[in-house]
Structure 1
Amino acid sequence: MTPFAALHHRPGRPLLLPNAWDHASAASLVAAGHLAIGTTSLGVAAAAGLPDGAAATRAETVRLARRLGGGDFLLTVDAESGFSDDPDEVSALAVELAQAGAVGINLEDARADGTLTPVAVHAAKVAAVKAAVPELFVNARTDTYRSGQDDPEPETLRRLAAYREAGADGVFVPWLAEPAVIARLVGAVGLPLNILLTPTGPGLAELAGLGVARVSLGSLLYRSALAAAVATAAAVAAGEPVGPAPGYAEVQALNER
């Protein structure tokens, strides 16, 4: 088991995974003590002025992995749907990310039009990545809880079982916030379950008690940074005090990582 995989097998101690969008955000999180960092596809896309989830940021994603990979922390990359429905193209991407120093990849079955990729297609991507880079931790994500279904649980179970059979190391069900359903999935899936922290869902302690193995922050930190920038500008305009921020030298020092 790789060191990154081991972080998903600590009962009662889920991996809290913060998501970065550039070098400074990743370095700041590492300096704060986080051993593993994910990237956020929304943050990467928005920083480049491109849409998220539209297979438009392959180059930016690989570039960021090359900048962050191989450092003093474990890096897992949000690669949207792999930027392709061709398993060979997705596995080639996985090879590039692994060569850049990434130890994990997140692959989602959502499409830009709001539909879900057919189960067999997404499972083939997972299998291709595991065949090409067996040591890469594949987190197979399903967006069933954003698809508008009245009862997403049966379809979620069907998809997660297929992704497990394809070789996924973990599974991710964002926007699921019902504790009872989370507990049932933990018991049924047979793989580490990743949940996205949401304002209306269970907190970290409750998710730990439910048996969740990984808790992701997704784009929360990026969106919070945007809100803080706007709030700071508004405070300056209003002649009000501004909140604390890292000093110039502190930010410069991040470049040494």
Structure 2
Amino acid sequence: MSFADLHRTGNPLLLPNAWDHASAAVLAADGYPAIGTTSLGVAAAAGLPDGTGAARDETITLARRLTRLPCHVSVDIEGGFSADPGEVAALGAELAALGVAGVNIEDGRDNGRLADPVHQQELIAALKAAAPGLFVNARTDTHWLGTGEDPLLRVRAYQEAGADGVFVPGLTTEAEIAAVVAAVEVPVNILYAAGGPGIERLGHLGVRRVSLGSLLFRAALAAVRRTAHAVAHGAGVPPVPSYAEVQALSSPGTAAAPPRPGSAAGPR
């Protein structure tokens, strides 16, 4: 099933987000049919700030590694790593040539403002022209940045520019989510939020994709802290993958690595 088709199964596509080969490989082994990257995780793992365009090289290097896995890969390219439509188009073509199925491009900028919507349309159109088969998920940060701007105007504009899907992180109320779904004809992506609607309910609202964003990366950092604290204070350490299990993730044939004990097999 193509990456685009995964957005049209009747149930939302749950897209977990990885930050390196190991995190993506363990998700692929658990049967997820598609994996995204998290720009925060990729940047922070390299000691770089997120959202500033500093992690372009790291993003491409990771994409090259992840496309060896038995799943579709969608890459978070922040704002495109350039304001030049030609450079953004070249990036899209390069990623598509590597086997990347989709990209996520956002209109939030590191000055805390939103990009001009007309210019953002140019970036989206450039991506589609350079790589027609690339699933372009156009994200607007109206809620993320708290600008107070109506996201409906932007998602409609991005759809008109050729976006294959739209993404409005920060939405948590059913009324807001339903309004975005009703405003466009392309699949709507929502960021999972604790306390917000669950995946089943989001599906009933018409949402076609649910991303985990940086959640798994931040959870991993919390696990690092908890585990070190447990050892330092003589507390029990929870079960963790063995050395051999982790080593297997980077070995030839890792694509067929079995799910870890207790995990659900098969695509979810």
Render the CA deviation track for 1:227-252: whole Å, top value 9, x for unaligned: 00100000011101011110011001
- Residue 148 of structure 1 and its aligned partner are, at CA, apart by 2.1
Render the CA deviation track for 1:41-73: whole Å, top value 9, x for unaligned: 000000000000001010000000011114311
Give unmatched runs, 5+ long, in structure 1.
Answer: none
**Number of matched residues?**
252
Aligned to 1:212: 207
Whether 1:22 and 2:17 are equivalent positions in the alignment is no
Aligned to 1:185: 180
2:31 to 19, 30, 33: 33
**Alignment of structure 1 residues 243-254 onto 2, 5 Å:** 243-254=238-249
Aligned to 1:235: 230
Asked whether the 8 Å contact 2:25–2:249 carries over to 1, the reply is yes
Root mean square deviation, CA, Å? 1.0
Letter aligned with residue 105 of structure 1: V
Aligned to 1:6: 5
Letter aligned with residue 122 of structure 1: Q
Aligned to 2:73: 75
Decide which structure has greater helix share: 1
Aligned to 1:65: 63
Give unmatched runs, 5+ long, in structure 2.
Answer: 255-268
SS in 2 for 1:3: coil
SS in 2 for 1:7: helix
SS in 1 for 2:8: coil
Asked whether the 8 Å contact 2:3–2:72 carries over to 1, the reply is yes
Q: Which has the higher contact order (CA 8 A, sep 6+)?
A: 2
SS in 2 for 1:146: coil
Q: TM-score, normalised by structure 2?
A: 0.92
SS in 2 for 1:75: strand
Moved over 6 A (4+): none
**Alignment of structure 1 residues 104-253 onto 2, 5 Å:** 104-150=102-148, 152=149, 155-253=150-248
Aligned to 1:97: 95
Q: TM-score, normalised by structure 1?
A: 0.96
Render the CA deviation track for 1:166-186: whole Å, top value 9, x for unaligned: 100000000111111111211
Separation in 1 of the partners of 2:127 and 2:188? 19
Separation in 2 of the partners of 1:189 and 1:120? 18
Separation in 2 of the partners of 1:117 and 1:69? 30
Asked whether the 8 Å contact 1:182–1:210 carries over to 2, the reply is yes
Q: Between the two proteins, what is the percent identity of the paired residues?
A: 59
Letter aligned with residue 3 of structure 1: S
Separation in 1 of the partners of 2:55 and 2:144? 22
SS in 2 for 1:8: helix
SS in 1 for 2:224: helix
Letter aligned with residue 115 of structure 1: R
SS in 1 for 2:171: coil
